[in-house]
Structure formats: C-alpha cells, structure tokens
Structure 1
Amino acid sequence: MDSVIKSYFEDLEAKDKDVQIEAFNNIKAAINEEVDWAYEVWDQLKEWLTDADNHRRSRAAQFLAGLAKSDPEKRILGDFPALWEVTKDPKFVTARHSLQSIWRVGLAGKEQKEMVINHIVNRFQDGAHEKHYTLIRFDMIQGLKNLYDELKEEEIKQLSMDLIETEEDIKYRKKYKTVWK
C-alpha cells in the first residue's frame, strides 16, 4: 500500500469531519478498480463491521464490498455473513449505506455474485416485517440494476423484474420499476 492510501485510512480517524469525508471518498474512488493492498486492511475492516462506532461499521461494509474484486483468496465468501449483518444495522443510515454497496461483492466472481443475489432475493421475499421495508426493497432492486449494468447479464434483469412483480402494492411496484427506466 502506498503512503497516499495509507494516509487516507489514517485520515478516517481525523477530528475534522471534512478530512474524514475526503479520505472516505478517496478510498471509495481507489477501490473502484482492483487494488493490490486489499489484504493489508482486510482484517481491520472485518473488525470494524462490529465496532461500536456506526461510521466505522458503515465504512467497513462499503470498503469490503468494494474490495471483494481485489480478493483472489475469496475471503469474502467466509466473511460475507458479517458484512450482510451490517445491512441490518440498528442505525438505519448505516444499514442503508451498507445495503447500497453490497452488490459490489457480486463483481468478484460467479460464486460471489450468486451469494449476493441469493441474499437479496431471500430478503426481498422474506423481509416484509422490517422497518422502512419499501426503501430497503428499492435499494435491493437498485443493487441488482447496478450489478446488471456492470455485468450485462439478462438473468439479473429478469430476476429483478420477477421480484418487482411480487410487490402487491401497485404504487411501490411502479416505484421499483423506475430503477430500470
């Protein structure tokens, strides 16, 4: 890991919120591509998934999801349950930010893609009891759309459309369909 990236991780702990935000955005930009330093931060990020600080939990989830494509050892397969838990965080903003980035794990390979899709499908079908469930469903449909945009696999689009059709409330069905326009 070069000194610039290292300084971004250090700046996540800065007192100045603007410095933290800039560091966060720079790390997110860096992990849009494959990186060779994923394992230098992996264990720390894994620990942050259960940190008392919701900002750390959120950052860890977003970073690990992005780093999945830089994971040739496929550690994400074993660590995914802990990552998925953050999508159900008691702090809704943390849960939502995590859920909005979880689709990135699917870019890491076939196994990872299937794992993400299966979790999304199960939650879409079985999570009606969750608070803010319509927002959560919207985020999951958006995640499938993002995955489709990257991979161009028609079965992802079809699956998403099939899930949308299971929505009983026509208002929300229409809202979810707007993701695909």
Structure 2
Amino acid sequence: MRHWILAIAFTVTAIGPVAAQTTRELAYQLAETSIDDSFKSLKPVLDGAFDNLQRNAASSGKSDRSLEIFIEEMKNAFNRENFIKAIAEVWARDMTREELQQALEFTNSPVGKKFRTVSQSMKEPRNLMPIFLDACSRARARALNVGMNTAGLDAACSQFR
C-alpha cells in the first residue's frame, strides 16, 4: 500500500508542474524555444538603426550626451531576455493556453525543428535573390521610363546575378 501511495504522489508531482503551467509560463517557454535565431538576426539590425540615429543626429548638430545615453540604454534594453519577455507577453495576451501548448508541441517536434531550420535558410542571399532581381528589374524599367541613365543601377544590380 505504501508503494502505491508513493507511486501516485510521484505521478501527481511529475504531472503537476506541466498541468499547472499558466498561459504566461507557456508563452514564455514558447518564446524562449522559438525566437533565438530571430533575435540573433534582429539584434544587429536594431544596433545599426541606433548607430544611424546617432550618426544622423551628430551630423545635423542635434546630438548631445543625453541622446548618446538614450541610445546606449536602448541597445542594452534590446537584449535576448527582454525580447523573449516582450514576445511572451503578446502571445500570453493574444493566444489561449491550449493554442500555446499546441504551438510549443509543434516547435519541439521533429517537423517544428526542421521548419525552424529551413526558415532560417531564408537569410541566405541565394534564397533572397529572386526578390533582389525583381526589384532591380522594376527599378531599371522605372528609370528607363523617365529617361534616366541606369549605369549606376546596373552596376549595383550586377552583384545579384
């Protein structure tokens, strides 16, 4: 009888934390599992935008130490942990507990892992080439339509061929 009670207690203890997860906890777990690669690619873009803001302010004579401090704080604030918290809050607010559980199960499944891996390949220039080539073609047509010289555009677009 004693072993039976221990087995039941162990089972309830083992299942308890999973079943007791709140919507917010599930959202945080999903964000932590799924956004790492997104954050790694977003962070340099954000840092570059802040650097541009600082350079533009400096070149226009509107930069001061308070702006520099603000930019430093913004760069520090956009860290992985804050990014996860922000996304988790949105998901917890806009998704049900059941939806989050399903998303987490998918994310951790073999298909979900492969989906994330394949999705990351979209960062590779060769996979984005059709977009660049289309933009070059449309820009060239527009420039020629108004009689512009396209030598600079052609040189820039040649790197995408």
TM-score, normalised via structure 1 length: 0.21
Q: Greater Rg, structure 1 or structure 2?
A: 2
TM-score under structure 2 length normalisation: 0.23
Asked which structure has the greater RCO (Cα within 8 Å, sep 6+), the reply is 2
Point out the structure with the larger helix share. 2
